[in-house]
Amino acid sequence: MSSVLDSTPPSFSTDDVARIAAELFAIEGTATNLGSERDQTFLVEGRTDAGVVKLSNLAEDPGTLDLEAEAILHISRVDPGLPISRPRVVSTAAGAAAYRTTVEGPDGTHFVRLFERLHGGDGGPALSDAAVRDYGAMHARLNLALRSFFHPGSGRELLWDLAHAAKLRPLTDRVEDRGRRRLVESVLDRYDANVAPRWSRLRAHVVHGDLNLDNVLFDDTGRISGIVDFGDVGHTAQVGDFAIGAASLMRGRPLDDVLRVGRIATDGYQSQVPLEVEELEVLGDLVATRLAAIVVISAWRVAQYPENAEYIQAWDEDSWQLLELVGDIGPERFAEELGAARPPVATDALIKRRSDALGAVLTELSYSDPVHLVRGERAWLIDVDGRRLLDAYNNVPVVGHSHPRVTEAVVRQTRALNTHARYLYEPLIELGERLLASMPPEAGLDSVMFVNSGSEANDIAWRIAAGVTGRDGAIITQFAYHGVTDAIADLSPEEWPSGFAPERVARIPVGGAGEAIAAAAAELTERGHALAATFIDAGLTSDGIHPLTRDSLAEIVQATRDAGGLFVADEVQVGYGRSGEHFWTFAHLGATPDFVTLGKPMGNGYPVAAVLTRREIIDGFAFAGRVFSTFGGNPVAAQAGLAVLDVIRDERIIPQVKRVGGLLRARIEELQGSHPEIVEIRGLGLLLGVQLDDPARAKAVVNAMRERGVLIGRTGPNEDVLKIRPPLVFDDEHVAVLVTALDESLVAT
């Protein structure tokens, strides 16, 4: 593997090279030795022409030289803007062989090649942040150009390739200082433990192999003007190739600045080629391994060729300084600073930090044993210990946690553009059009306003309703929740402190319909707060899950209008197909609202919300044309919203909700026969309330189910109703897990 490193480098003089350049390449001029590790490289400058002459050592394989030429030519075709030093034709042979010839030396026959001369200067620790970022981006462009390249010789083995780091171990005894030798061995130990098991999963293709500062030229602004020396080209992991460039940029910097510089280089690389999670996990270790390779190979090579020590050891001191930094802060932190995930904080410590930093106003954590989560997938959540928990509570990830269609839509748009709605961009408009198209035609809803949350959506609906009616009274259900803004908190009795009862708000009881609305409206008028709007969540989710019927909702809407108010269908908790009958619960029940408010499910976890209404209503609002939300409907949010709509359509979510919701209810109804503590089962689709005979029992059951790996909640004025409201990707297997846990938990409590 190391034949080119074992073989003695050529020993041509500058006069020899000047003669060779004149005889073989017709360049009459002087030669300047540019230095090289295992070959010889000279700049030959004449009056009319110039080039770089490269003489290979005797162990060089002609197939490898052809690999270099073909790789460079491929890059030139794929990305002509990359400033690479191209080979020049030097023989009459066909194909890649045309770019090499031979010359006789004192020790044998050497291959010789000629490359175009590029202009530029050296770069190093003085490179600006912008230049470092550009370096990373240029490195990524080079890899992009090479990823479609294949050559049978690209499987060559070279000791500098980090894929072969384990083969450095026999050479570590060449490091004379014991402390430094132990430092190198610890880096290789870390490689064996953290990198080697992942190596076969890393993206790999042909790469430059040695894009360090010695192989790059810079213009006066610090931008790369030349990329030279493809002598280490080969097939390996692309993140290993990038680690070589990153290590070069970090060397020679003040120790308190090297990690920052490494991150900026990574930012530049990722602007063109985003690194995968596993690549970021090993990047820091690969940088450290590159540094270890530099000092180990240097120690070995200097012992063989002491006459070339100055060139061989040029990087040693800077590399040792960085390796000592790795030793001082630890390889784990070094890797984390360059992108690896930090290990999770202990749950108890995190609870304390949450309390200290976020204050007493923040709601309490769910469950007596708080859930400490690190990731999610579809209907499952994974906690800090790797345990899978079935999420039967969360309606935010409506199409499942971390759905790839949604996450990729967010990432792609984030890379392209994110701005506010005063600029023109298509995703926002398309999302608005598709939401309007999903509404029943008879509702006449023709305008959309985008905001960031259901609370903001309800706040906008309230402002418009109050503005166009000239009134300030609101009707809600007894224990409703509609949001947290100053105005909407008054419409959310679920969150009211004891004794709080705003005069402008009247409530109707569960089961109340037309007569209850009329009575509440009359009460508001008597208080001097005539009705502006009625807000209804048709599932009465916070009231204990008492879904309205078609008749009761129709009465509520009509009585609201008879009283001079507008009707707001709050679909934040019950929308997006949760009923299993229609995309919207109000539409399933045949209502025609004046406003529809949307929130949580729209972006599957990405903040986006909306208000839909009729243009005729907006035209009567004094602030029409002035309502604006900086982030509402931004391009990323809009793409998340579009992706959610696509998934619901493509995965046929709504029919599945109907079937699985029916199955879930039937299975829980079967439990009722053996569990008299179940008082009633209510719901629609995948919104289910199981009322128990005692609030304390309900709390105990929720915690017992959490212990069994199933997450549900409680709702209702007495918190005696088990709230089951899972992501809509719930399936038969999830039903079985939930029902078993519920059965066992009821027995246990």
Taking the C-alpha atoms of residue 650 and residue 669, their distance in angstroms, rounded to an integer, is 31
Q: Which CATH architecture has domain 346-399+652-749?
A: Alpha-Beta Complex (3.90)
* pTM: predicted TM-score of the whole model, two decimal places: 0.87
Ranges of residues in the chain with a pLDDT under 50 are 1-2
Taking the C-alpha atoms of residue 613 and residue 248, their distance in angstroms, rounded to an integer, is 59
Beta-bridge partner residues of 114: 53
pLDDT of residue 312: 72
| Structure token digits, residue 118 | 């590029």
pLDDT of residue 365: 87
pLDDT of residue 237: 98
Contact 18, 45 (CB under 8 A): no
The residue type of 717 is P
Under DSSP, the state recorded for 163 is G
Residue 455, Cβ density class (10 Å: 0-12 exposed, 13-18 middle, ≥19 buried) = buried
Taking the C-alpha atoms of residue 330 and residue 217, their distance in angstroms, rounded to an integer, is 34
DSSP class per residue in 580-643: SSSSSHHHHTT---SEEEE-GGGGTTS--EEEEE-HHHHHTSTTTTT---SSTT-HHHHHHHHH
Under DSSP, the state recorded for 35 is -
pLDDT of residue 569: 98
Residue 316, Cβ density class (10 Å: 0-12 exposed, 13-18 middle, ≥19 buried) = middle
pLDDT of residue 60: 87
* Closest of 572, 561, 462, 484 to residue 521, by C-alpha: 561
CATH (one of 3.40.109.10, 1.10.1660.10, 3.40.640.10, 2.60.120.10) for 443-628: 3.40.640.10
pLDDT of residue 38: 79
* 646: CB partners within 8 A, 6+ apart: 405
pLDDT of residue 310: 76
* Closest of 626, 596, 653 to residue 435, by C-alpha: 596
Taking the C-alpha atoms of residue 749 and residue 295, their distance in angstroms, rounded to an integer, is 65
CATH (one of 3.90.1200.10, 3.40.190.10, 1.20.1600.10, 2.60.40.10) for 129-337: 3.90.1200.10
pLDDT of residue 3: 67
Q: Terminal CA-to-CA distance of the chain, rounded, Å? A: 68
Taking the C-alpha atoms of residue 372 and residue 711, their distance in angstroms, rounded to an integer, is 12
Q: What is the chain's alpha carbon radius of gyration, rounded to the nearest angstrom?
A: 35
pLDDT tens per residue across span 345-384 = 999 999 888 888 887 677 788 899 999 999 999 999 999 9
pLDDT of residue 1: 45
Q: Could you tell me how many residues make up the chain?
A: 749
- Distance between alpha carbon 287 and the CA centroid of its chain, in Å? 23
| Structure token digits, residue 550 | 């078609």
